[in-house]
Homo-oligomer: A and B are copies of this chain.
Amino acid sequence: MLKKNRLACTLACTAVLTAVGAAGAPQSPADPQALARIRAAALRSDWSWQRLEELTDRIGPRLSGSPQQAAAITQVAAAMRALGAQVSLQPAKVPHWVRGEERAELTDYPGRPEGLTQRLHLTALGGSSATPAAGLEARVIVVRSFDEMHARAHEIRGSIVLFDAHFDQRLADNGRAGDAYEQSGRYRFMGPSEAALLGAAAALVRSIGGADYRLPHTGATRWKEQQTPIPAAALAAEDADMIARLAAHGSVAMRLVLTPQTLPDADSFNVIADWPGSVLPNEYVIVSGHLDSWDLGTGATDDGVGVMAAAGVIQVLQQLQLHARRTIRFIGWTNEENGGRGGKAYFDSVSGAMNSQCAAIESDEGAGRALGIVAAVTRDSLTSLALPLEALAPLGATVLEPREGEVGSDVAPLQSAGVPGFAPLVDARHYFDYHHTAADTLDKVDPVNLQTQVATMGVLAYYLADLPACLPRVAASAH
């Protein structure tokens, strides 16, 4: 998943960095040569790529509660142990939602030749309830916004609401993929719940993404406390278009079959692997990604690449036998996609000793080339990032993007407690073409891009872990 991705800082931050340079030595003693060695080793290593190939080709989709997710936890824990890291599995109960049959067809529409139906391409949203096994048949009400739905509130009861909000690819093309995702994504997150409040029989959303290959994009939808879920699915963009065209001529009816099951919560684990600090081993800089994925593709870009880039940081440190002052802690999160239980479990485990959490890095914005660093830190702290950015300059990762708000949903609870948050800034222009679809597969990852993410996270993690003092806490209001 991804929340924001603004390339907002090139000019302002260049000025900041220049000022830092002019002001003399930065406060960190981190050895620039160590950072350069980390960068170089990351760009030579194919360890993360090999692990990503195992994770995607050999294990595959890793939805919470699935045997594939369990296999992924086993795989990464073993790989970390083989590197000599101190590995622990942190338990978390996770939602266990299992996709079933999913099909739909238009059973009536203006100009329909007698006896014909029009087949649709869709996929259930995580958390959807099931229709009757034979399906439900109802009129489709097409709306472009929540306002439009409320203006037609009297038509909603018993109907299937289709939220036909288009993904704004122009925003994505201009470095604001996260904003584009938020803009149409809120209909996936909140649409089914809002439609249910008005008595809708089911809710559909136009797929959130920029492509046009009749690919439905799944994802989580949210229900209010105590709310009974209704059937909810994402239609391929083409099908949303077709229904909107037909509905412009008159009434459209659909038969919808979705048979997912929500099983009892399952046992799962965060994989935690510590690369001990030489001076302050009980203070931690986290490098992380999430091990779970949606169930349609093999989760290569969301978030195989992120979790293996993070794991690769430990491999590089092991290879160089480098230990920073603090412990660098790899976390492979469980259940990012449909519950966030991994992030919550970790937060709960450290909430009594939050000062031990020096900084948290998460990569979960796709497989693009690393362009720099996203930093959710105080304004003053921005200047201290000159050194790692300088070390990353040879690979072109020179942009510093200050972010207000979360850098990754697993580390968001830590951020809300003031922990500085970071992410590699990646080129996400095409991330949402494949996001949460069957086409999220290994071929979408360029091995060199993956190496740039290892380098960026490695340099940043080592730098932060080697600082004389952790960067100051960030006011919660900034999130």
Chain A interfacial positions (CB closer than 8 Å to B): 53-54, 57-61, 67-68, 71, 74-75, 109-113, 115-116, 118-119, 121, 211-215, 237-238, 241-242, 245-246, 297-298, 433-434, 437-439, 441-444
Contacts and interface: CB of A to CB of B under 8 A. Distances in A.
Contact of A438 (B121, B242, B246): B121
Contacts of A444: 212
Contact of A68 (B116, B245, B297, B438): B116
Given A54-B111, A113-B71, A121-B438, A443 B59 contact: no
Given A57-B118, A213-B433, 15 more contacts: A58-B109, A58-B110, A58-B113, A58-B246, A60-B116, A60-B119, A212-B439, A213-B213, A213-B437, A213-B439, A214-B437, A214-B441, A237-B443, A238-B443, A245-B442
A238 B297 CA distance: 10
A339 B83 CA distance: 60
Contacts of A213: 211, 213, 215, 433-434, 437, 439
Contacts of A61: 119
A21 to B, nearest CB: 43
A296 to B, nearest CB: 9
Contacts of A442: 238, 241-242, 245
Contacts of A67: 115-116
B242 A441 contact: yes
A177 to B, nearest CB: 18
Nearest to A72: B113
A450 to B, nearest CB: 16
Nearest to A115: B67
B111 A441 contact: no
A441 B68 CA distance: 35
A245 B58 CA distance: 10
A115 B246 CA distance: 46
A213 B118 CA distance: 22
Contacts of A238: 439, 441-443
A70 B439 CA distance: 34
A298 B442 CA distance: 30
A116 B66 CA distance: 10
A366 to B, nearest CB: 15
A433 B439 CA distance: 14
Contacts of A54: 111
A442 B239 CA distance: 10
A309 B317 CA distance: 64
Most chain B beta-carbon neighbours within 10 Å: one of A54, A115, A211, A238: A238
A242 B57 contact: yes
A74 B113 CA distance: 10
Contacts of A215: 213-215
A245 B74 contact: no
A211 B434 CA distance: 12
A475 to B, nearest CB: 43
B60 A118 contact: yes
Given A71-B116, A242-B442, A111 B214 contact: no
B214 A116 contact: no
Contacts of A60: 116, 118-119
B59 A113 contact: yes
Nearest to A112: B58
A438 B214 contact: yes
Contacts of A298: 118
A242 B444 CA distance: 12
